[in-house]
Amino acid sequence: MTPEKRALANLAQGLELPLETVEDAAMEPLTEELSEAEIASLSLEFDSYADPVLACYLTVPSPEQVSALQRYVAGGRAALSSEIRALLKTSAGFRATLARMMEEIIGGAASLALAPVAAASDGDLEQRRFAGGMVTMAPAEGHPGQLYVVVDFDAPGPGVRYAILQAEDASDVATLPLEERFDDGVMQVLVDLENPEVACFVRLFRSATSQGALSQ
């Protein structure tokens, strides 16, 4: 699909019109002569629509960036680069790719889903329930820049290797390794909020609309 076709397709979706209708309107010649002021006004109007459309759809991730995102959401230890995080903000196609990856992880047999939280104050969550337990964020006493992330299972079960959360619109994603396991069914990890990856995970955890999973 050409860039022009992609731009028209996005515009058609936004206007809730068939693509053919938008294409016909875009290609139809003007039937009347316009004044210079009218031409200038139309030009500004076009730019206001075209600029965000092209910024959204012409920013195409490379195969290497897609692979790096895949490794990250699969629990890879490397932090997600600022370049890839920026692409998630500007590329609708890249966000769709992340959403598909997340659907596979959340629905996978090796995962425990962390669903959006209904009737919660966005940004204030300290606990999230999953089928079989609870994840809690608890302050580290005497250390304001640190938190304990505690995964408490109702009953012994299969271990989980990491937690992952994505923003509702897939514009952000974060993982957190879960390494410390206790015999009583509790996993506890001390995290430092000065770590950008940790700070991103905590921000998404506290958002009522984010979703993700605990995964093996």
Strand-pairing partners, residue 139, are 147
Helix %, strand %, coil % for the chain, to 5?
40, 25, 35
Q: Where are the beta strands (DSSP E) in the chain?
A: 111-114, 127-130, 133-140, 143-153, 162-166, 173-177, 186-192, 211-215
Residues with Cβ within 8 Å of residue 192, at least 6 apart in sequence: 145, 146, 198
d(CA 4, CA 10): 10
Q: Report the distance separating Cα 31 and Cα 87, nearest Å.
A: 41
Please list the ranges in the chain whose pLDDT falls under 50. Answer: 29-30, 53-54, 56-58
Adjacent-strand bridge partners of 148: 138, 190
CB atoms within 10 A of CB 114: 22
Q: Is residue 12 a contact partner of residue 1, using CB atoms and an 8 Å limit?
A: no
In this prediction, residue 156 carries a pLDDT of 73
Tell me how far apart the alpha carbons of residues 198 and 174 are, in angstroms, rounded to a whole number: 8
Asked whether 96 and 196 are in contact (CB, 8 A), the reply is: no
- Give per-residue pLDDT as tens, 119-149: 666 667 899 999 999 999 999 988 889 999 9
| Segment 17-44, tens digit of pLDDT | 667 665 665 555 445 665 666 656 655 5
Model pTM score = 0.72
C-alpha–C-alpha distance, residues 167 and 173, integer Å = 6
Strands 211-215 and 186-192, by their bridges, are unpaired
Q: Where are the domains of the chain?
A: 3-57, 63-215
Q: Given the DSSP bridges, would you call strands 162-166 and 127-130 parallel, antiparallel or unpaired?
A: unpaired
In whole angstroms, what is the distance from residue 52 CA to residue 59 CA?
11
